[in-house]
Structure 1
Amino acid sequence: MSAAQEVKTTAQVLVDCLKAEGVEVIFGIPGEENLDLMFAIKDAGIRFIPTRHEQGAAFMADVYGRLTGRAGVCLATLGPGATNLVTGVADAFLDGAPLVAITGQVSSELMQFTSHQYLDLSAMFSPITKRSKVVMRPDTISEICRLAFKYAESGKPGATHIDLPKNVAHMASPARPLHRQQAPALYADPASVAAAAMMISEAKNPVILAGAGAVRGEAAQAVTTMAERLHIPVVQTMMGKGIIPCDNKYRLGVVGIPQHDYIIDAFDMADLVIGIGYDLVECAPKKWHTHDDMRIVNIAALPADVNQEYDPDVEVIGDLSDSIYQILRTARRDKMPEPEAMLAVGAHLHGELEEQGRDDAFPMRTGRLIFDIRKVLGRSDILVSDVGAHKIWIGREYPCYEPKTCLISNGFASMGFAVPGAFAAKLLHPERRVLAVCGDGGFMMNSQELETAVREHVPFVTLIWEDSHYGLIKWKEEEQFGDVFGVEFTNPDFKAYAESMHCHGYRVESTEDFIPTLERAFANVDAPSVVVVPVDYSANMQLTETLRANYA
């Protein structure tokens, strides 16, 4: 190194590596152990967004990764800062969202002692990440960073972790950023393509099961083309919503609610299931694998996980769109004995929502809320669902026209996902309407990030379905025990709560007032808005009893 060349610290080199990876924003909360890193970020001009809780930072990075395909980055200090990241990091790991978490750490010479706030963070993050490494030597930082992004963004995406001790961050480092590697396009073996095309051509009643991998693989157009050209109905998982437009006649609906739903009728009729980007973490195969005569073709970027209920006869592994179009070169389907019966399943579910959309009861019913939300949001607008009873209804009934316009955590399925997730979505897409839909339980788990949104001028809308219960657990208790226990709570005045954080606050007082109120909320561009609506969840047990009667 010449005397004219600047000697950089490990923290500065790490930031140079982040810039080389294309990182434009980092979410997090700093601490004493990562101050060198913080000022390196400042000097480099990367946008740093201080959040009000590290879990919120991790969820923001999670959704950033889902929407861009590039790893979102979150940062925390050691000890409690790092442990607060865990839920959001685990969510990205199971849901397949690329994320890199960076934590501060005690100086390396203290790691063999019982030290203040010290935990073995690499051991803690290892089960919930694809790779977790401690930077013990300054010269390794560029390799550790490049590998963190490579692992986070490749294969099935997920979370990775870098742990940077305080003293190592301050040491001089000779490392330099490494080039991002262009992942080669991988194409399916022609023999598997031919075998899949033959099975699809010979099947009497095939059905496509499209999952999160089809969304990540940008395969929406290919899936829709296969459905239309070969006349094959499409079932989606919750994280596969929008892979085929909801107004396409071959779109049946969504699989994944806990109950035996109408959509399982399509699998009862199917002799072949074509899994496209199907991820077992979302919906166990035993929920839809209803008979032994069912055969399976798996079209995916990676081989299927091992499961006796999902044991493909043929696997077509490679770029999803290319695989589908190669299959379409030879597959032919002209005679279909049962397509109308399968399509009737989708028509039934669509008609059910139309009927619920005419329900004027107040507090509002779930179907009417979803029906009216769909009226307010455009085709490309984004709904981010929290986890709770409302997630079941949104997953089952909310119509989607495009992928990545209904974001649901359904692998890890963590409450508290929606508010920070909506923040990240609106940050990326300021031109779209972004709606966070929360239960009153999930909202209070990360409501503090509304202050972050006010400070950063990110005006999304949060809609709270209020019933003063942990609604999904209440529903399960009623199903299994006929009673409820430990799920009731009281709420603050959500309108006043929102206004206290300088948001716009609204409370819906009638069903007729809901759409005008939501429109007023979206008209606010100076600050986020919060709309609270009392909800009647009686439809939960009504659905349970109906499905029990139909499938007893």
Structure 2
Amino acid sequence: MAAVKVYERILDLFEAEGINTLFGIPDPNFVHLFHLAQERGWNVVAPHHEESAGMMAEGVSRMTGKAAVCIGTLGPGIANLSGSIMCAKVENSPIIFLGGQRARITEQRVRRGRIQFVQQSGLVENAVKYSASIEYADQTDEIIREGLRKALSGTPGPVYIEYPSHVILEEIDVPPALPPESYRLVGQSAGPDRIAAAVEAIKAAKQPILLVGHGVHTARAGAAVKELADLVAAPVIQTSGGTSYIAGLEDRTFPYGFSKAAVEAVVQSDLCLAIGTELGEPVHFGRGRHWVAGEANRTWILVEQDPAAIGVNRSIDVPLVGDLRTIVPQLTEALRDTPRTPTPELTRWIEQDAAQLAELAETAPSGMSPVHPARMIVEATKAFPADGIMARDGGATTIFGWTYSQAKPHDVMWNQNFGHLGTGLPYAIGASVADGGQRPVMLITGDSSFQFQIAELETAVRLNLPLVCVVAVDYAWGLEVGVYKRTFGQGSLETGVHWGEGTRLDKVGEGFGCYGEYVERDEDIAPAIKRAYASGRPGVIHVAVDPKANSEEMPSYDEFRTWYAEGMQ
């Protein structure tokens, strides 16, 4: 047993989970915690807005496969965190949000006009999996552990833990912190009967596919899925959330709905092994649109951590409930002695997808000034470093990116489920912090989205991160301009979707200490990106894009509309 302060014990408990990064803006309520974390060698990052802090923590979680920690001061700090709390909830990210609060004696007094105070728990409890307060010092272990248990069990998600100011400095006698497996379920496996049923179904299939979602990336399970995919000898179909390419599977990984090869593979499949996906709207619940043709003859295997999710969006023939990091190796081991032979169709789909990508690069409109957004994506992604981390943000810019990207990054950050704009820059920073600033990072974003958290450029400069932001600038909410035109016709009023032309985002970046360049020709995009990386500073490349093309020529928009908004009601 050892006597420690509550804030020391909180750090001990997180360290036992392999957590060593903290985001937040220091406050008198918890400067002791920040100070000690820094002394212990933690990454302690103070951004310019608490919402950014939560999103940066999410970037760390996605890159490490672990829970991450963010902290907010009482009152306005928690208010600022609320957007990132909801993002983490919808994006299934296990973020531990810590909140300071006034001493309970102060909170419970009958008073008016209290400064920087609001009762916080009730405001966030519907957006988290668990909400609790450390009311007494000797509750510290059980509440922090319950928060981690809830955040990481079933469908991952955020939790909120509050500590009143009178508690955090108290002293308690405690033993060394326990490892995770001593207080929560770790590495839940599927039963041997279920594994055997899945293996028999895979062996019997003629045209199996793997449907790979966001969870494979956030669990850092790419290598395990690669081994399984090789044994199954199947194409990998990406969900719109699972757009990180697995190393070694790049050539036979096809984006669902946006690749002709993906559509053909889905239509012809007689078995779908779904891993790390909720089978939600972006894949038509696994039963609509492209899935309809083969529904009667298709077997479904779903690897899912939350047993309550089985059968919700569609019926599942073989549910494998547990941690995909454990179940995927179970399947691999059971199939190791009987690998499948690739079908002729797989070779054809690989060639078809490569040809489609090459055709898009060739046919993206060129020679325009301002630049066509499709050409901007082509040129920027050709310049994307092979070992880089990709972050995406924006409406129209992201839609162009889905279709025209020439890069196949192993780590992609974007807010797919919630669709929260402004996440791109904090995600990129958080991912780079988790990576130790070793790999190059590229953010491709629209101008309106970029400005949500633009102050965090200073954070990137302060941390000296290898980040280049490629910003498509049309001085408008491009996707919404397109909605006005389709709804009311050309020349109609476009209320609230344009902002003042003339802002130079490269110059804004320079003001924060970034490298900046202004580009308005296709051929200048890649060289500008390369110069930005070579500068040794974070970079902002302001790319002037054609506003008409950006709002009216979004590719595959009809496909997008089959699941977006009212498409799947």
TM-score range, shorter chain: 0.7 to 0.9
Are 2:422 and 1:420 equivalent residues in the alignment?
no
The residue aligned with 2:52 is 56
Q: What is the aligned counterpart of 2:243 among 241, 244, 248? A: 241
The residue aligned with 2:198 is 196
The residue aligned with 1:90 is 86
Q: TM-score, normalised by structure 1?
A: 0.87
Contact 2:480 2:551 in 1 (8 A): no
- 1:143-173 superposed Cα distances (whole Å, 9 cap, x missing partner): 2223323333444433222111112223333
The residue aligned with 1:208 is 210
Counting matched residue pairs gives 540
Deviates more, 1:238-247 or 1:418-427: 238-247
Q: Any idea what SS the aligned residue of 2:442 has? A: strand
Distance 1:480 1:320 in 2: 48
Distance 1:71 1:426 in 2: 16
Contact 2:64 2:218 in 1 (8 A): no
Contact 1:193 1:326 in 2 (8 A): no
How high is the sequence identity, in percent, across the aligned residues? Answer: 27
Q: What is the aligned counterpart of 2:513 among 488, 502, 506? A: 502
Contact 1:263 1:345 in 2 (8 A): no
Deviates more, 1:279-288 or 1:416-425: 279-288
- 1:408-445 superposed Cα distances (whole Å, 9 cap, x missing partner): 21122211111122222222332211112221111110
Change (3 A) 1:247 1:371: farther
Q: Within 5 Å, give how 1:131-530 maps onto structure 2.
A: 131-175=130-174, 178-182=177-181, 184-244=186-246, 248-255=250-257, 263-280=262-279, 283=282, 284-285=284-285, 286=288, 288-291=290-293, 292-293=295-296, 294-303=298-307, 305-306=309-310, 309-318=313-322, 319-326=326-333, 328-329=335-336, 346-347=353-354, 349-356=356-363, 359-399=366-406, 401=408, 403=410, 405-429=411-435, 430-482=437-489, 484-490=494-500, 492-525=503-536, 527-530=537-540
- State the AA in 1 paired with 2:132: K
- 1:328-386 superposed Cα distances (whole Å, 9 cap, x missing partner): 34767569586577557634642443324573333222332232223222222111112
Distance 2:139 2:511 in 1: 47
Are 2:507 and 1:536 equivalent residues in the alignment?
no
Distance 1:358 1:107 in 2: 62
Contact 2:27 2:73 in 1 (8 A): yes
Structure 1 residue 44: Cα displacement: 4.9
The residue aligned with 1:67 is 63
The residue aligned with 2:566 is none
Q: TM-score, normalised by structure 2?
A: 0.84
- 1:386-406 superposed Cα distances (whole Å, 9 cap, x missing partner): 232212232344355453x22
Distance 1:15 1:248 in 2: 39
Contact 2:367 2:522 in 1 (8 A): yes
Q: Any idea what SS the aligned residue of 1:82 has? A: helix
Deviates more, 1:105-114 or 1:205-214: 105-114
Contact 1:193 1:316 in 2 (8 A): yes
Contact 1:140 1:175 in 2 (8 A): no
Change (3 A) 1:545 1:227: closer
- 1:32-91 superposed Cα distances (whole Å, 9 cap, x missing partner): 433454455456554432211001111111101110122222111111110111222222
The residue aligned with 1:31 is 27
Distance 1:125 1:323 in 2: 38
Distance 1:336 1:64 in 2: 39
Change (3 A) 1:214 1:324: farther
Distance 2:277 2:104 in 1: 43
- 1:174-224 superposed Cα distances (whole Å, 9 cap, x missing partner): 445531223543332232223223333333443321101222344434444
Structure 1 residue 528: Cα displacement: 1.7
Q: Any idea what SS the aligned residue of 1:443 has? A: helix
The residue aligned with 1:111 is 107
Distance 2:118 2:429 in 1: 30
Q: Any idea what SS the aligned residue of 1:468 has? A: coil
- State the AA in 2 paired with 1:141: T
Q: Any idea what SS the aligned residue of 2:385 has? A: coil
Change (3 A) 1:304 1:510: farther
User: Any unmatched runs of 5+ in structure 1?
Assistant: none
Structure 1 residue 457: Cα displacement: 2.6
Distance 2:281 2:248 in 1: 20
Distance 2:178 2:23 in 1: 24
Deviates more, 1:50-59 or 1:385-394: 385-394
Change (3 A) 1:267 1:152: same
- State the AA in 1 paired with 2:235: P
Distance 2:434 2:412 in 1: 15
Structure 1 residue 471: Cα displacement: 2.2
Deviates more, 1:217-226 or 1:186-195: 217-226
Contact 1:10 1:168 in 2 (8 A): yes
